[in-house]
Structure 1
Amino acid sequence: MNDFLNQIELVGDWLTSSQQWRGDDGIPNRLAEHLTYSGISLVFATLIGLTFGLLVGHTGRGAFAVASVANLARAIPTFGLVVLVVTVAGLSTTPVLVALVALAVPPILINTFEGVRGVDPDTRDAARGMGMTGWEVLLKVEVPMALPLILLGLRVAAIQVVATATVAAYPGLGGLGRFIVDGLARNNYELVIGGSAVVVMLALVVQAVFTALRRVVVSPGLQPSATKS
């Protein structure tokens, strides 16, 4: 218990130190870098995951490929993927973004696919019976009903990206992971714990944002169905 309280005190002292809030190595600058990597990665992953998830879920073609991609992604270690991409493509921002996109696509893809495919067939038939085209059925029926799972996939991907973007520091780039890498290199325990705490807090903020978003955009009757990950 004393060790835990000491760690909490270290984090508090580190966060409240004015030195941590200015300069290129300060929290605001590192946080901006981290959010930039995370945001760009999530945008590209969302475009890829949603497009293919909606297409495969609506048509039913390529379901085996979706499952294969999801299973393969779970078996790839984050750090190993970053190192591999950096080794092949060289040290720059692009390899890190490619690795983060590759890690974020599967939860978005599989949840979007499962959400659309899980729509009651009778509901689809009723929509078609009303004269809706395939695109109208997708956009007006399937997407709204699949929205809880789609948002869940986005939330999982966002938290995963925010948490794993710390690896961007290993190949020499910035972000909040810089605190952890530099702290380990200098044997600075306070820096490691403080940087880790900021990453955890950022992940909690992302979690809260998506929880609030779900309450706003998802019909109350559909929210209990958002339990699959």
Structure 2
Amino acid sequence: MDTILELTLQHIQIVAVAVGLAILTGVPIGIAITQDQRAADTVLYIAAIIITVPSIALFGVMIPILSLIGQGIGYVPAVIAILLYSQLPIIRNTYTAIANVDPALREAARGIGMTPLQRLRQVEIPLAIPVIMAGVRTAVVMNIGVAAIAAYIGAGGLGQLISRGISQTDPRQLVAGALAVSILAIAADFFLLWLQKRLTPRGLSVKRG
């Protein structure tokens, strides 16, 4: 259990740092591309291509590149890969949520003298939070599985149990690793759902309820 706990904390750290960075980059990108349909199509297309690349192939591509700075294997390539895989759901959901804000609300905000930045911060983003958080949940759950594969490049995490179970033909480690990854994904999804409900403006929650 001590080993599983230690590997779980490593797993959480990798995913949390990567998805946190993806939120810091993906949300502003999603907001920015609402101003230009051509840019939106291009960005979403590139993000969709990235997410179709198998994780093992992506790790393989990054090894020689990051080796130039002494980070070819381990924590750094794992974080970069998960960051890239997280971009599509976060950018797409942010773009969709901001683009679909009721125009009447924008006009009302403009009518009371709000600047574009004030409208974004006080009206559009609060209304978009449920959809943005849904994208974050998708990214986290998906990349908990990707982080397990990152064990093959020395990143640590619960994937170590799975890789050792396969290499040592030990079904106990294999099953323990697989179950731990699944339980972590479910727990993360429930936690983010709770956080999504807490962050959703009260009036919007009542309206949906």
Rg larger for: 1
Q: Verify the 8 A CA contact 1:148 1:225 in the aligned structure 2.
A: no
Is 1:39–2:21 an aligned residue pair? no
Cα RMSD over matched residues? 2.0
Is 1:70–2:54 an aligned residue pair? no
Aligned residues: 202
Matches of 1:50 and 1:224, distance apart in 2: 25
1:28 — aligned with what? 5
User: Residues 31-61 of structure 1, C-alpha deviation per residue, up to 9 Å, x if partnerless?
Assistant: 121111111111111111011112223x346
Q: For the structure 1 residues 225 and 80, does the alpha-carbon distance in structure 2 shift closer, same or farther, using more than 3 Å as the test?
A: farther
User: Residues 69-124 of structure 1, C-alpha deviation per residue, up to 9 Å, x if partnerless?
Assistant: 23213321222212221243222321121111100111111100110001112221
Secondary structure class of the residue paired with 1:170: helix
Q: Which amino acid aligns with 2:4?
A: I
In the superposition, the TM-score normalised over structure 2's length comes to 0.89
1:49 — aligned with what? 26
Point out 4+ residue stretches in structure 1 off by more than 3 angstroms: 219-226
Matches of 1:85 and 1:104, distance apart in 2: 17
User: Residues 109-168 of structure 1, C-alpha deviation per residue, up to 9 Å, x if partnerless?
Assistant: 110011000111222122111111000111111111111111101111111222210112
Which of 217-226 and 70-79 deviates more?
217-226
Matches of 1:172 and 1:103, distance apart in 2: 19
In structure 1, stretches of 5+ residues that fail to align are 1-20
Secondary structure class of the residue paired with 1:91: coil
Map residues 41-120 of structure 1 onto 2, 5 A cutoff: 41-57=18-34, 59-60=35-36, 62-89=39-66, 90-120=72-102
2:136 — aligned with what? 154
Matches of 2:206 and 2:19, distance apart in 1: 25
